[in-house]
Amino acid sequence: MRREEFLESIRHRTRYGRYQPTKAPDASWTPREGRGRVEIGDPPSRFLEELEALGGHGRRAEGWEEARDYVVELAREAGARLLVRWDVEELERLGADGPLRKAGVEVAVWRDLGDFREVAGRADIGLSTAEWAIAETGSLVLESGPGKGRTVAILPPVYVAVVPAERVVGTVSEAIRMYAGRGSLPQNLCFHTGPSRSGDIEQSLATGVHGPGEVHVVLVG
């Protein structure tokens, strides 16, 4: 791409009301002049729509049992041998460890790992939750910390997030405001948006080069 084309692309993406990042019909990435963003009436549904438009896979689950069954069936269909997961309360409530092991999938919990990167690098599936899910972009907000290694969401080729539906917020601004006024921020705070994409090799788009090529999000409740 020539320099002029690159600059015009940037101008286009930052011009009011001109750029729409996904197929969603009712909102633009930048608001129209004189108007605010369109109100998102059903944030969970909008999140799933945006995630699908990005090439991800999303679904609603009425409860934790349905979410657990989805994770186990996904691992079974993928022929997974090793799943690595965060050590957090939500995933204990999910209760997938026993059914996964019965299905022949080894489960590595973050608290038990000696060499985190080595295990995550061998895993077929990474499983975590998220602090927030953002409806307008289909993004997940992940915090790292004790029991919450960031490589779980980066190194395995398949990544799954199980997130309570009440954690879906409408916009990026809303997610950022959740951290306003805090005395300190998490050591590592990441916004994950769909499967990994890279266009830096001969300007050819490739999926799964710098992160998972397959992303699944289950909204519970």
Question: Is the sign of the CA dihedral 157, 132, 51, 71 positive or negative?
Answer: positive
Look at residue 199 and tell me if it is in a domain: yes
- The CATH number assigned to the domain holding 47 equals 3.40.50.10420
Query: Cα separations (Å) of 77 from 55, 67, 70, 105, 198?
Result: 19, 15, 10, 11, 27
Query: Cα separations (Å) of 20 from 121, 133, 138, 164, 202?
Result: 35, 19, 13, 27, 25
**DSSP helix/strand/coil, 125:** strand
Residue tagged 């539906």 (tokens): 165
Q: What pLDDT is attached to residue 139? A: 93
Distance CA 137, CA 117 (A): 29
How many domains does the chain contain in total? 1
Look at residue 208 and tell me if it is in a domain: yes
Look at residue 28 and tell me if it is in a domain: no
Token representation of residue 6: 């690159």
Look at residue 3 and tell me if it is in a domain: no
pLDDT tens for the chain, 221 residues: list them.
566 676 667 666 555 455 555 555 444 444 545 445 557 889 999 999 999 998 899 999 999 999 999 999 999 999 999 999 999 999 999 999 999 999 999 999 988 666 778 888 999 999 999 999 999 999 999 998 888 988 999 999 999 999 999 999 999 888 888 887 777 777 788 888 877 555 555 555 444 444 577 999 999 99
Look at residue 130 and tell me if it is in a domain: yes
Look at residue 176 and tell me if it is in a domain: yes
- Contact between 152 and 110 under an 8 Å Cβ cutoff? The reply is yes
Look at residue 8 and tell me if it is in a domain: no
Look at residue 117 and tell me if it is in a domain: yes
Residue 144 structural domain: 42-220
Q: What is the pTM of this model?
A: 0.78
